[in-house]
Structure 1
């Protein structure tokens, strides 16, 4: 049986995920802390380890918690995204890391990527597309984001699942940040990851697949200009009978591909669930 235990510190509630276990020798129930969850008002399903996410008590608590604090949390997320965008554009890695470290005290890497870093980078991309930023500004933001992701990737990794994921982009697609987010996320969650991004030629990708024999291939395509090269890559990959998942902003207006799994711009949680069902 699992439940949440809360402590009040300076008028703020903090929660722990706790497991109750019966000690047959002592004939008493012992409580084992599974995970510190941070502020009670900020706890989401992503903070709960996978094996406890379907527990009826946990789902009931989160439903109640979400209803009472959703407006407060959304206001916090909007402000945090704004600060992240500002510091990325300034190339201010120190403050970017500070935002991540503060966020990570109360939430997961998954939540940070999906709710803070990705939206901030999308906003920067939209500003560049609208010619409100020059290419130098975009490069500063991208390089700072890459340094952040590298730092996140140094966290301790989960036990190996014995499964390998190969990540790549089509030839000519140089937007690599989504691939590096996926690399750190899946590595931290116990997968072996081969990241060939950005823009590896199809024959190079095929050689790595032949040598490393991955269990699944993830393809990221950001710009519509690279749909055709992505289609050529997929046709080459279909010969080898390995599951393929494709996603990216280039697919938001429609799916030109068939016989592969297309997820457009999924959250990392959604992508993870899909992959678990495939390999």
Structure 2
């Protein structure tokens, strides 16, 4: 099996075709350069020796780094939609592995899974997808992210000093895919995460927080009808006997609400309107760097 490794030099990415060979002298596997390929964006299949042209690692690298990368992503999204409808989890995992190998977990979520799930919702609203099929797609996506989470958990990077984050949804909010995505992303970045979504009573969340002692609580709202329940949850957290940490509130359910100037009581609460997954880490660092010193609302 061969691989294409990219190396950045002065802002430009250069590619090398390499393969694993056994080093008898040192008693271990080492990588041997088969061929220098030049600029990553200009690598074509013709540049690869014929015996390696059909290798899946080679094909995926060329597709991801060529000027047709956007076309490749579009094709992958169309394929993912069909696989979700068919509940073909194995093939979905295969797409994840091929894409994330070069672009990583974050971009897989932002550029593939999220747009595809939005498409599922649009098709359902337009009556082009029945409820049962929409549920099949949702369940398949949950299974996929669960598999990804299990893989991330097998390779823990958290340490004893890692920030502890509690992820939850207010009672009545049963959408949990976003919470699972955030969980795996944060775990991959070294955070200690407890995800208790979906739909947990406020008292149960507070009781768990008292034991877990999180540095941050993240609340996800998908349906705007659950905004009222989230307000009650926030008030209960702030009025409870636990040492209330900063609170981040996100999800498409808060996009329609207007945020007024926050009073002292809500100085620990921050609303993440218009924030993508990639914007969560800066938000976490900001609200946790000075403990309770949180006053303004993030907007993008």
CA contact (8 A) 2:224 2:256 kept: no
Q: Give 1:146's aligned residue.
A: 142
Compute the displacement of 1:42 (Å): 4.9
Q: Specify which of 76, 81, 84 is matched with residue 80 of structure 2.
A: 84
Query: Would you say how many aligned residue pairs link Structure 1 and Structure 2?
Result: 230
CA deviations over 1:26-60 (Å, ceiling 9, x no partner)? xxxxxxxxxxxx959957xxxxxxxxxxxxxxxxx
Determine the C-alpha separation between the residues in 2 that align with 1:112 and 1:124.
17
CA contact (8 A) 2:148 2:184 kept: yes
CA contact (8 A) 2:77 2:116 kept: yes
Determine the C-alpha separation between the residues in 1 that align with 2:76 and 2:104.
15
Determine the C-alpha separation between the residues in 2 that align with 1:41 and 1:120.
19
CA deviations over 1:9-42 (Å, ceiling 9, x no partner)? 4867549xxxxxxxxxxxxxxxxxxxxxx95995
| Bigger relative CO (Cα 8 Å, ≥ 6 apart) | 1
1:186-205 pair list within 5 angstroms: 186-205=186-205
Q: Give 1:277's aligned residue.
A: 286
Q: Give 1:171's aligned residue.
A: 171
Q: Give 1:99's aligned residue.
A: 95
Compute the displacement of 1:82 (Å): 1.7
RMSD, aligned α-carbons: 2.5
CA contact (8 A) 1:100 1:112 kept: yes
CA contact (8 A) 1:157 1:188 kept: yes
CA contact (8 A) 1:88 1:145 kept: yes
In the TM superposition, structure 1's runs of 4+ consecutive aligned residues that sit over 4 Å from their partners are: 8-15, 38-43
Determine the C-alpha separation between the residues in 1 that align with 2:129 and 2:85.
10
Gaps of 5+ in 1: 16-37, 44-67
Compute the displacement of 1:111 (Å): 0.7
Compute the displacement of 1:266 (Å): 2.2
Higher Cα Rg, which structure: 2
1:170-249 pair list within 5 angstroms: 170-239=170-239, 240-249=243-252
Q: Give 2:15's aligned residue.
A: 7
CA deviations over 1:224-259 (Å, ceiling 9, x no partner)? 111111111111122343111111111222335743
CA contact (8 A) 1:224 1:250 kept: yes
Gaps of 5+ in 2: 1-6, 18-34, 42-59, 289-300
TM-score by length of 2: 0.70
CA deviations over 1:170-227 (Å, ceiling 9, x no partner)? 1101000000011111112111111110000101001011111100011110011111
Compute the displacement of 1:127 (Å): 1.8
